[in-house]
Amino acid sequence: MSEQPLTTGRLYGVGLGPGDPSLMTVRAVEVIASADVVAYHSARHGRSIARSIAERHLRPDHVEEQLVYPVTTETTDHPGGYRAAMEEFYEEAAARLAAHLDAGRTVAVLAEGDPLFYSSYMHMHKRLAHRYPTEVVPGVTSFSAAAARLGEPLVEGEEVLTILPGTLPEEELAARIASTDSAVVMKLGRTFPAVRGALERAGRLDEARYVERATMAGERTGRLADVDPESVPYFSVAVLPSRVGAAPTAPAAGRGRVVVVGLGPAGPLWLTPEARGELAAAEDVVGYSTYVDRVPARPGQRRHASDNKVESERAEFALDLAREGRRVAVVSSGDPGVFAMATAVLEVASEDPYREIPVRVVPGMTAAHAAASRAGAPLGHDYAVVSLSDRLKPWEVIAERLRAAAAADLVLALYNPGSRSRVWQVGKARDLLLEHRAPETPVVLGRDVGGPEESVRVVRLGDLDPADVDMRTILLVGSTQTRAVRRGTGDGEEIVWTPRRYPEV
């Protein structure tokens, strides 16, 4: 609250709640009763929902300022378009209120719901609050009222609630809906078909509830999937209630499925919205114990952790759960299709009795791309991906592929370079690559990228020490064109990049 001359009036943003006048706060009633001027917005038809909520508290001597929107859709003949027309309106409305405040009058601007939640009052607040003493009186929001009328919890425990405007593009809505626990989508009306489509694309249409005119005359609630799009007014919301409070669904034949989910290299920042949504929707999470531990625990969700060397058994176990009607997420670090669980699951799923089980792969950020981003752009031109593990293929095959990729002058991303039981492969690979690369060739060593022990270093191929490499490290070996450059002064950051253009032969 800013200090202002005592001669000015006071501005109030008054939250009226969702529509039922009995849900106004005591403070809101007090402010309206003491105000000299009551302002409210309306469309050009002149009817104001805000005024109708507060009507019983208006006095005959109240000065009423009706702020009539010039447009209510984005269609306008204003030379500056819709945004310019609205900006002009807000400036004029603020000037009208400022005249009262300058005259020493107290002004109460009425707002449905809460004044600072998708409210027209905010436009007055931004233009006037720094100039006049101001108080905002909070109100019950429409989404709180909607949850109350549905009688279902919105969020519980560690769940996250996301509030979305229905005016977002359908694809953006779908991504955000898929990645959250609970959600409320506001501003339906003409946006309803896109909102419904987004819920369906996110696989959450069956969970969605619909609330129209919560606490007001004409209130309607029900399953969103059953609503006629032609009947939806602006004052309605879509609600995805808490999954914790949802009644458990019994397994059903034909309902089971397996989704192989890429977790990215480390941590929630590397998780895609689609992956986050699939993890939330899964009834069972299956995977190597280290990766299962990275998935947030959810009430009612079963977790099945196992050793890292039982991929086929793990895949069969997940598919058996799906045959029972369970929705199963098999988790994998990085991208599940890159030296990870997608192949193991699909191999087993291609045999009887699993051929009819739906299997889908949800991609994730790869370790190679994560490490490359930290170092600069070493994968900026053609590159090859090779695993140095000889557990599933002979070293002779690995060596042949390294020679071929090196002779083709490809940048190399080397996965699984070493472990406690494999200590010599890095040295062998280095010596082999030195037959085709100069000792000064940049090599990126990315360890635990995105994790708490992240380390990204740039060394030269001739100086590559196998002792610096373990199973959590990925190596990016440059081509003859890859550059390592220090940026800044002194010992500035060294970045690695491979030019997009290759010199003509």
Give residue-wise pLDDT tens across range 273-303.
889 889 988 999 999 999 999 998 888 899 9
450-492: per-residue pLDDT in tens? 988 999 999 999 999 999 998 889 999 999 999 999 887 666 7
251 pLDDT more than 70: no
**Element spanning 312, H or E:** helix 311-323
Q: In what order do the strands lie in the sheet with 257-262?
A: 302-306, 284-288, 327-332, 257-262, 359-362
168-195: per-residue pLDDT in tens? 999 999 989 988 889 999 999 999 999 9
| pLDDT of 77 | 61
3-state secondary structure of 331: strand
CA–CA separation, 373 vs 251, rounded Å?
43
CA–CA separation, 133 vs 3, rounded Å?
7
Q: What's domain 257-362's superfamily in CATH?
A: Tetrapyrrole methylase, N-terminal domain (3.40.1010.10)
Q: Is the domain defined by 144-240 classed in CATH 3.30.950.10?
A: yes
Taking alpha carbons only, the member of 129, 143, 140, 106 closest to residue 31 is 106
Averaged pLDDT, 200-226: 94
One DSSP character per residue, 389-427 reads --SSS-HHHHHHHHHHHHHTT-EEEEES---SS--SHHH
User: Which pLDDT band, with edges at 50, 70 and 90, does 309 fall under?
Assistant: confident
Q: Which fold has domain 368-497?
A: 3.30.950
CA–CA separation, 68 vs 218, rounded Å?
25
103 pLDDT more than 60: yes
Share of the chain above pLDDT 70, in %: 94
Give φ, ψ of 261 to 5 degrees.
Answer: -110, 125
Let me know if the fold of 11-140 is the same as that of 368-497: no
Of the two residues 369 and 73, the one the predictor is more confident about is 369
Average pLDDT over all residues of the chain: 91
Give φ, ψ of 272 to 5 degrees.
Answer: -75, 155
| pLDDT of 72 | 63
28-79: per-residue pLDDT in tens? 999 999 999 999 999 888 889 999 999 999 999 999 999 999 876 655 666 6
CA–CA separation, 480 vs 329, rounded Å?
42
CATH of 11-140, picked from 3.40.1010.10, 3.40.50.300, 3.90.1150.10, 3.20.20.70, is 3.40.1010.10
Domain extents for the chain?
A: 11-140, 144-240, 257-362, 368-497
